[in-house]
């Protein structure tokens, strides 16, 4: 098997289009692409050219000769995506090459070049900018609430998944392109309004994600010690809004309700040997708290059975290689029952891994993770602080109590409304057609407003899934521009910088972000870490002010002149 895709796969699909023999699937035009946990190389069709390795933004593809021990399961995982056939027999070719989604084409109109404001700076925002900037002369202004860009890649990916964070290399490269400008530390809806942006741009594209967890609505959620897994992710990743989270690890057990990848991440970090994390970019205060932690078990609880586990196969493989994961005897029995009847290959592979887990009755010798199934949360117990959770065993009246000093929910995200745009509260998305925002009352387009990423399609997919999603939004936006449906900005490109600076003097531009980035990397280098993050906005601003030779506005205007 010449090449293999491994755990870090981000589903960006750049490799698909780089492959000369179309042996990486699913491709973005195939129906299972949107739900696929990763992409897979057909071992019998791969001709070992290495083109995909160079295309992958997160270094997830390796030749089989360089597969390291923990990547070995991915040989089978790649192979088993394809139907069994006699050795050497290739699949009938569907097409010579994967069909590349056509790039948006612009026909210049009006006085100013197409100028687009993008709100948010995570993967959906960066991929949208990437697509827009393939067109000559287009201007992209990116607005981000924090002084640092890249959204969940910086503040959501677990610190021990540094390879996934390599996507920032691609994002840096996009942000250096002619026509791109950062307006960081600027909150849309606070410092500038949707109307302000629309006046200065042909279009405003929201790629601000789905920031909030769905809440677990049971009695006792709200006691000290309860919260969401995402808050803990923000805390250990040094997100300024979660730096002050009162995280108390002076107890033995944490319960997480919900068993998706975020739950696995949090459980893995809370049970990790701090020495394993010491060379990552985890926040210093979080590392110190983990060193003092008394937590010896994190229980990840799911309402449904093992076959319905929400975590992905690559994450389960990674988890079992780095943490001690156990099951109770009755859950082992449930796994065996599910394995006897399972139909689909992916679930079978997950169940096979679960059958090999240790038994929870063994004494706890180091912090561990217990997966528990078929338990419905009833209420959290405690006076001021939580002390336990009561569950009902599925299909019975039996109540099971699990003692815990921290209870976290991890049952998915929900988008939050965006000022001045319609919102579908049930779906947690901005109503849209192909990324074009639609007013549900009238069925008409909301002039100049577009969405991409989770706020467009809901909370599904991985970092790279946003690439094809953003491309589709940009195709829609370009069609509207070509049809003359977008209004010209009221003034030229420099007016945006003046407007923003008047309303938020502490705006950070690309030069400012570079100062923060360089300082974090330098702080990290001294400790053999990729970076030591600033976790307070004030410290980030001080760093920029201390190292800027020019006032921020001059920096920004200088960048404009260069563009």
Interacting residues with ligand SF4 (CB under 6 A): 2-3, 18-19, 21, 23-24, 41, 46-52
Question: Of 39 and 218, which has the nearer Cβ to ligand SF4?
Answer: 39
Measured CA to CA, the distance from residue 244 to residue 235 in angstroms comes to: 8
Q: Is the dihedral of CA 302, 307, 313, 317 positive or negative?
A: positive
Shortest reach from residue 441's CB to ligand SF4, in Å: 48
The pairing of beta strand 115-119 with beta strand 203-206: parallel
DSSP 8-state class, residue 28 = T
Q: Which long-range contacts (CB under 8 A, 24 or more apart) does 360-365 make?
A: 360/326, 360/327, 360/328, 360/329, 361/328, 361/329, 362/326, 364/296, 364/297
Of 44 and 252, nearer to ligand SF4 (C-beta) is 44
Are 533 and 283 within 8 A, CB to CB? Answer: yes
- Provide, rounded to whole angstroms, the least separation between the CB of residue 74 and ligand SF4: 13
Nearer to ligand SF4, 81 or 242 (CB): 81
Q: In angstroms, rounded to a whole number, what is the distance separating the alpha carbons of residues 103 and 133?
A: 11
Toward ligand SF4, which CB reaches closer, 97 or 502?
97
Angle between helices 494-503 and 552-562 (to 10 degrees): 160
Tell me how far apart the alpha carbons of residues 143 and 147 are, in angstroms, rounded to a whole number. 10
Min CB(5)–ligand SF4 separation in Å: 8
- What are the distances in angstroms from CA 113 to CA 42, 117, 412, 470, 494? 44, 13, 40, 20, 13
Smallest gap from residue 464 Cβ to ligand SF4 (A): 16
Rank residues 41 and 211 by Cβ distance to ligand SF4 and give the closer one. Answer: 41
CB of 123 to ligand SF4, least distance (A): 23
Q: Supply the minimum distance, in Å, between the C-beta of residue 315 and ligand SF4.
A: 23
Nearest distance from C-beta of residue 313 to ligand SF4, angstroms: 19
| Residue 33 dihedral angles phi and psi, to the nearest 5° | -60, -45
CB 114 within 8 A of CB 481: yes
Query: Of the two residues 5 and 203, which places its CB atom closer to ligand SF4 in the complex?
Result: 5
Q: Which is nearer to ligand SF4, 64 or 201 (CB)?
A: 64
- Which residue, 47 or 103, has its beta carbon nearer to ligand SF4? 47
Rounded least distance, CB 248 to ligand SF4, Å: 48
Cβ atoms 374, 395 nearer than 8 A: yes
Q: Which residue lies nearer to ligand SF4 by CB, 63 or 422?
A: 63
- In the complex, least distance from residue 431 CB atom to ligand SF4, rounded to whole angstroms: 39
Coil, helix or strand at residue 13: coil
By beta-carbon proximity to ligand SF4, the closer residue of 51 and 438 is 51
- Three-class SS of 122-183: CHHHHHHHHHHCCCCCCEEEEEECCCCCCHHHHHCCCCCCCCHHHHHHHHHHHHCCCCEEEE
> Cβ 86 to ligand SF4, closest distance in Å?
20
- Give yes or no for a cis peptide into 26 (omega within 30° of 0): yes
């Amino acid at each position: 098997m010449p090449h293999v895709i491994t755990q870090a796969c981000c589903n960006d699909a750049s490799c698909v289009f780089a492959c000369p023999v179309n042996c990486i699937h699913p491709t973005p035009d195939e129906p299972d692409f949107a739900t696929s946990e990763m992409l897979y190389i057909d071992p019998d069709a791969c001709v070992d050219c290495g083109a995909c390795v160079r295309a992958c933004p997160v270094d997830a593809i390796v030749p089989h000769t360089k597969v390291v021990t923990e990547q070995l399961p991915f040989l089978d995982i790649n192979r088993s995506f394809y139907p069994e056939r006699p050795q050497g027999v290739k699949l009938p070719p569907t097409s010579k090459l994967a069909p590349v989604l056509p790039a948006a084409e612009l026909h210049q109109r009006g006085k100013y070049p197409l100028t687009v404001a993008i709100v948010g700076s995570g993967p959906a925002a960066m991929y949208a900018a990437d697509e827009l900037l393939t067109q000559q002369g287009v201007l992209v202004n990116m607005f981000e609430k924090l002084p640092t860009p890249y959204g969940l890649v910086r503040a959501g990916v677990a610190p021990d998944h540094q390879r996934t964070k390599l996507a920032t290399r691609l994002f840096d490269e996009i942000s250096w392109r002619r026509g791109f400008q950062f307006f960081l530390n600027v909150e849309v809806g606070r410092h500038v309004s949707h109307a302000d942006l629309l006046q200065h741009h042909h279009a405003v594209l929201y790629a601000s994600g789905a920031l909030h967890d769905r809440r677990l609505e049971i009695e006792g959620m709200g006691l000290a010690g309860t919260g969401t897994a995402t808050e803990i992710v923000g805390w250990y990743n040094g997100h300024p809004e979660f730096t002050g989270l009162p995280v108390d690890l002076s107890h033995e057990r944490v319960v997480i309700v919900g068993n998706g990848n975020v739950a696995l991440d949090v459980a893995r970090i809370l049970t990790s040997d701090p020495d394993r994390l010491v060379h990552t970019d985890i926040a210093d205060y979080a590392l110190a708290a983990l060193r003092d932690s008394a937590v010896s078990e994190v229980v990840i609880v799911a309402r449904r059975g093992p076959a319905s586990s929400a975590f992905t196969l690559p994450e389960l493989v990674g988890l079992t290689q780095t943490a001690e994961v156990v099951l109770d005897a009755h859950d082992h029995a449930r796994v065996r029952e599910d394995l006897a009847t399972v139909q689909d290959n992916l679930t079978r592979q997950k169940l096979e891994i679960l059958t090999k887990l240790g038994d929870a009755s063994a004494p706890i010798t180091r912090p561990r993770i217990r997966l528990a199934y078929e338990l419905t949360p009833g209420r959290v117990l405690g006076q001021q602080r939580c002390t336990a959770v009561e569950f009902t065993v599925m299909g019975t009246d039996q109540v099971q109590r699990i003692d815990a000093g921290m209870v976290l929910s991890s049952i998915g995200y929900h988008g939050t409304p965006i000022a001045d745009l319609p919102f579908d509260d049930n779906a947690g998305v901005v109503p849209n057609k192909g990324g074009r925002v639609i007013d549900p009352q009238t069925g008409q387009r909301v002039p100049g407003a577009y969405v991409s990423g989770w706020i467009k399609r809901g909370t599904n997919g991985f970092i790279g899934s946003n690439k094809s999603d953003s491309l589709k939004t940009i195709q829609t936006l370009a069609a509207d521009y070509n049809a003359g449906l977008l209004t010209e900005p009221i003034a030229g490109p420099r007016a945006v910088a003046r407007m923003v600076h008047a309303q938020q003097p502490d705006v950070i531009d690309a030069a400012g972000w570079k100062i923060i980035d360089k300082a974090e990397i330098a702080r990290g280098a001294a400790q053999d870490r990729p970076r030591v993050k600033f976790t307070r906005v004030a410290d980030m601003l001080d760093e920029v002010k201390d190292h800027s030779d020019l006032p921020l506005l001059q920096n920004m205007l200088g960048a404009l002149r260069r563009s």
